[in-house]
């Protein structure tokens, strides 16, 4: 049995964090898998994200104070020794730096690092820290999308970079009865409703105003379902009132049963202005729901080219046009098939296991 620990900055609902939790489920059960969160406490995290409760025996929280903390390196070294760790797998720049220092001081632990987005490297400080961390422990470096690999290769052109795309659990995110799903969510909609959905933090980068304004260009039988919470909620509510869309735009807040959310939809829409390799489009398509999404980051790599639509112009009118086209599009292609072929979490976990113990995975 080998021991693998994943190191993340925090454990809160998000794509990176969901991927790490899936690694707990899909990595070979003969291994001991744990997650170390630099920030927060287990009580606060599990209260905010109930999904964590089923994994709480595999979670360690360091409750790091703000700023750089030498004690975190010592805590990681203690964890390495206590659990006889073989692999430390870091995610994003903070965990990379701390894991790099710890792996340098304990050469019996092999270091793997996954970059989930390369935007932070545009900051000189982050670029310097990344170069330092790579120099310290020389981890096996993984990009979770082709566009991330291309960006990393421009900056670290002497460093081997492997690509392992994120996957989702197709047994959890599966097709379902739309009527039952809408009833389960407490939705009382007209029978001819075409339901558009979005699941994301209610923050400016997610471009929710564009999607709300797109509703102006769509017939009244189109309704919009927003799952998530965030600082922009009041602003978005104001926009809904301003455009007199109160009966057609529905805020659900945080949803724990996301498969039910997706199954209630006709189309999932992701208008974000900044994305890495989003899981929401994978999850929606795994539930059989086609997507309209803005062409940023690795979004294009997540969409079925036959059943979903990518837009380059993230304007309300463009979103509405793509939604109409997708509504009327006739295709025999099922987006779920695309996900099963390309983004199964089991295939992702198997690829990482091969990289951990057998060398390079292409």
Do 3-167+344-358 and 178-342 come out as alike in CATH topology?
yes
Superfamily name and number for 3-167+344-358: Glycogen Phosphorylase B; (3.40.50.2000)
230-233, long-range: CB within 8 Å, 24+ apart, which pairs? 230/201, 230/202, 230/203, 230/206, 231/202, 231/203, 232/202, 232/203, 232/204, 232/208, 233/202
Amino acid 350: pLDDT: 96
Amino acid 361: pLDDT: 41
Amino acid 362: pLDDT: 41
Give phi and psi for 35, each to the nearest 5: -125, 130
pLDDT by residue (tens digit) across 199-239?
999 999 999 999 999 999 999 999 999 999 999 999 999 99
Beta bridge partners of 225: 197, 250
d(CA 291, CA 321) in angstroms, rounded, equals: 13
d(CA 242, CA 136) in angstroms, rounded, equals: 54
Beta bridge partners of 34: 5
Taking only the tens of pLDDT, the chain with its 362 residues reads 899 999 999 998 888 899 999 999 999 999 999 999 999 999 999 998 999 999 999 999 999 999 999 999 999 999 999 999 999 999 999 999 999 999 999 999 999 999 998 777 778 888 888 888 888 889 999 999 999 999 899 888 778 999 999 999 999 999 999 999 999 999 999 989 999 999 999 999 999 999 999 999 999 999 999 999 999 999 999 999 999 999 999 999 989 899 999 999 999 999 999 898 999 999 999 999 999 999 999 999 999 999 999 999 999 999 999 999 999 988 778 999 999 999 999 999 999 999 999 753 44
Q: DSSP secondary structure string, 46-83?
A: HHH-GGGGGGGGGEEE--PPSS--HHHHHHHHHHHHHT
Q: DSSP secondary structure string, 197-208?
A: EEES-SSGGG-H
Q: Give the domain ranges of the chain.
A: 3-167+344-358, 178-342
CA distances to 178, 243, 326, 329 from 187, in Å: 11, 21, 23, 26
Q: How many CB atoms lie within 10 A of CB 78?
A: 11
Strands (E), the chain: 3-8, 32-37, 59-61, 87-91, 110-115, 140-143, 161-163, 194-199, 222-227, 249-253, 267-270, 291-294, 309-311
Tokens of 358: 């057998």
Contact, 352 vs 139, CB < 8 A? no
Q: How many CB atoms lie within 10 A of CB 209?
A: 15
pLDDT by residue (tens digit) across 279-311?
999 999 999 999 999 999 999 999 999 999 999
d(CA 102, CA 96) in angstroms, rounded, equals: 10
H or E element in which residue 234 lies: helix 233-242
Amino acid 127: pLDDT: 86
Amino acid 359: pLDDT: 53
User: Residues with Cβ < 8 Å from 152, sequence gap 6 or more?
Assistant: 115, 118, 121, 141, 143, 159, 161
Amino acid 149: pLDDT: 93
User: Residues with Cβ < 8 Å from 10, sequence gap 6 or more?
Assistant: 17, 37, 38, 39, 40, 45
Contact, 148 vs 117, CB < 8 A? yes
The third-level CATH classification (topology) of the domain covering 178-342 is Rossmann fold (3.40.50)
């Amino acid at each position: 049995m080998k021991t693998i620990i994943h190191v993340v900055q925090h454990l809160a609902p998000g794509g990176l964090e969901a991927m790490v939790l899936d690694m707990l489920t899909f990595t070979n059960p003969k291994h001991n898998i744990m997650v170390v969160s630099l920030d927060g406490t287990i009580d606060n995290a599990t209260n905010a994200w109930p999904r964590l409760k089923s994994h709480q025996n595999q979670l360690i929280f360091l409750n790091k104070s703000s700023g750089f903390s030498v004690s975190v390196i010592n805590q990681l070294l203690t964890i390495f020794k206590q659990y006889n760790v073989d692999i430390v797998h870091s995610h994003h720049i903070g965990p990379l730096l701390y894991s790099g220092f710890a792996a340098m001081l304990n050469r019996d632990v092999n270091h793997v690092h996954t970059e989930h987005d390369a935007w932070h490297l545009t900051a000189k400080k982050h670029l310097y820290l990344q170069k330092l961390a790579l120099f310290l422990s020389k981890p096996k470096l993984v990009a979770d999308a082709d566009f991330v690999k291309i960006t990393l290769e421009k900056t670290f052109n002497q460093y081997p970079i492997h690509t392992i795309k994120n996957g989702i659990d197709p047994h959890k995110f599966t097709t379902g009865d739309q009527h039952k799903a809408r009833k389960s969510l407490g939705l009382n909609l007209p029978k001819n409703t075409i339901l558009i959905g979005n699941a994301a933090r209610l923050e400016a980068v997610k471009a929710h105003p564009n999607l709300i304004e797109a509703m102006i260009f769509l017939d009244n039988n189109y309704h919009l379902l927003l799952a998530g919470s965030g600082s922009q909620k009041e602003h978005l509510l104001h926009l809904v009132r301003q455009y007199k869309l109160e009966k057609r735009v529905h805020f659900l807040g945080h949803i724990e049963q996301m498969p039910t959310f997706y199954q209630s939809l006709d189309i999932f829409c992701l208008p974000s202005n900044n994305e890495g390799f989003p899981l929401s489009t994978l999850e929606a398509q795994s539930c059989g729901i086609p997507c309209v999404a803005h062409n940023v980051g690795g979004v294009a790599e997540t969409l079925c080219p036959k059943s979903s639509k990518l837009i380059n112009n993230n304007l309300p009118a463009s979103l509405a046009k793509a939604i109409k086209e997708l509504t009327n599009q006739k295709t025999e292609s099922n987006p779920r098939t695309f996900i099963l072929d390309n983004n199964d979490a089991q295939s992702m976990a198997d690829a990482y296991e091969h990289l951990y113990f057998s060398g390079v995975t292409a």
